[in-house]
Amino acid sequence: MIAKARKDLREALQGGFPLAQVYSFPPDRLEGPAIIIDTAPIVETGDTYATYKIGFKIVVIAASAGDTEIEVDNLDAMISRLLATLDNCEISAGSHFIAQGADGQQFLAYELTATTDYRKENNNEL
């Protein structure tokens, strides 16, 4: 069920961000623009029997443009597109930060959590 939730999220993000790299886990080397799904899911009991709320932290990395105003505009546009792409998910408050690539390059980034409901298919799943 968790693997399916991660796959579904990645597919939705790839459809919404055709020009960005979408990673199911943090990559070894960071390049923007990118969308990264964190490795640790958040799992809570759902509102009805055999349902679960599964959430993932998502990090949005803007492309480095050499101009802060352009980078902020790019990040704002990516966050807006992310919200539209995940309109069927519950989104919890996010925060911005500066991400650093392996070569010391800095990227504007934003992190939020997207949660959606899944039904347990059988007793052996999980």
pLDDT tens-place string over residues 10-19: 999 999 998 8
Task: Report the alpha-carbon distance of residue 38 to residue 41 in Å, rounded.
Answer: 7
pLDDT tens-place string over residues 18-64: 889 999 999 988 888 999 999 999 999 888 888 899 999 999 999 88
Residue 18 included in any domain: yes
Domain count, the chain: 1
Residue 98 included in any domain: yes
CATH number for the domain spanning 33: value is 3.30.70
Residue 126 included in any domain: no
Question: How does DSSP classify residue 24?
Answer: S
Residue 124 included in any domain: no
